[in-house]
């Protein structure tokens, strides 16, 4: 892999990229499932369902069901998750060191998780001082990844040209959104998707550790 030069902005996905939130997401999913007398799921099952927003996660977890049941499940999930955002969620090894290494560059968080939760998690894990922008899903303002709309907004607000930015994430949605926005892309294999799945969308970089970023940017 060749180095990507002249990068001024690093945009990070949250879940599976900066933090491992699967334990808390699994507990929250299972709280909702238990309330509705559905069988619980394990962390590996939930991991495969994460990436397209919380409502989609609940829909996948509960399966084909009536809209009314889905709304109840979503409500139960949020009831539990809102109180347990960082009960078991932790940032991945070396994340603070990597962010500090890039202290001379602008950094942003962009997640498909609801905006309020995204901001709160980054703050509670004391990573917020590293970022000039922390942004989660706000469907009334812009479409979720893989749409490039959110990235376009970040670039415009921070006055960064597409060729000066890179999207870093663990899902195909992250890479597809980055490509659609015309920015560089970096997939991480330590998150929730396999190398084979990530390679299929042809990211510019594919790294196994967040510290690898220091070699390629």
On the 0-12 / 13-18 / 19+ scale of CB atoms within 10 A, 123 is: middle
When pLDDT is cut at 50, 70 and 90, the band that residue 51 belongs to is confident
pLDDT over 70 for what percent of the chain? 100
Checking if the pLDDT of 173 tops 90, the result is yes
Quick one: pLDDT at residue 116? 97
9/67: higher pLDDT: 9
The pLDDT of 20-47, averaged and rounded, is 97
Q: Which CATH class is domain 9-20+90-216?
A: alpha beta
Quick one: pLDDT at residue 2? 84
The pLDDT of 99-119, averaged and rounded, is 97
Domain 22-81: CATH superfamily is: Putative phosphatase; domain 2 (1.10.150.240)
Checking if the pLDDT of 175 tops 90, the result is yes
Could you tell me the residue ranges of all domains in the chain? Answer: 9-20+90-216, 22-81
The pLDDT of 53-68, averaged and rounded, is 88
* Whole-Å CA distances, 34 to 27, 28, 74, 76: 10, 10, 13, 10
1/178: higher pLDDT: 178
Strand order of the sheet with strand 165-169? 133-137, 106-114, 9-12, 165-169, 184-188, 205-207
pLDDT over 90 for what percent of the chain? 94
pTM of the predicted model over 0.85: yes
Catalytic residues: 13
């Amino acid at each position: 892999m060749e180095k990507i030069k002249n990068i001024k902005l690093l945009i990070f996905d949250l879940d599976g990229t900066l933090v491992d939130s699967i334990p808390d997401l699994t507990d929250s999913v299972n709280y909702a499932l238990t309330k509705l007398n559905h069988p619980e799921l394990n962390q590996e099952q939930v991991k495969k369902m994460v990436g397209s927003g919380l409502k989609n996660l609940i829909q996948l977890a509960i399966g084909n069901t009536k809209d009314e049941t889905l709304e109840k499940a979503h409500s139960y999930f949020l009831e539990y998750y809102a109180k347990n955002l960082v009960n078991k969620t932790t940032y991945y090894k070396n994340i603070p060191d990597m962010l500090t290494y890039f202290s001379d560059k602008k950094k942003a968080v962009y997640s498909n998780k609801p905006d309020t939760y995204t901001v709160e998690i980054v703050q509670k894990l004391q990573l917020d001082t590293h970022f000039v922008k922390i942004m989660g899903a706000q469907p009334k303002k812009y479409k979720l990844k893989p749409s490039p709309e959110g990235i376009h907004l970040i670039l415009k607000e921070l006055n960064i040209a597409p060729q000066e930015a890179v999207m870093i994430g663990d899902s195909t949605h992250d890479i597809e959104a980055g490509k659609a926005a015309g920015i560089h892309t970096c997939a991480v294999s330590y998150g929730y998707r396999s190398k084979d799945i990530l390679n299929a969308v042809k990211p510019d970089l594919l790294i196994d550790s967040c510290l690898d970023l220091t070699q390629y940017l």
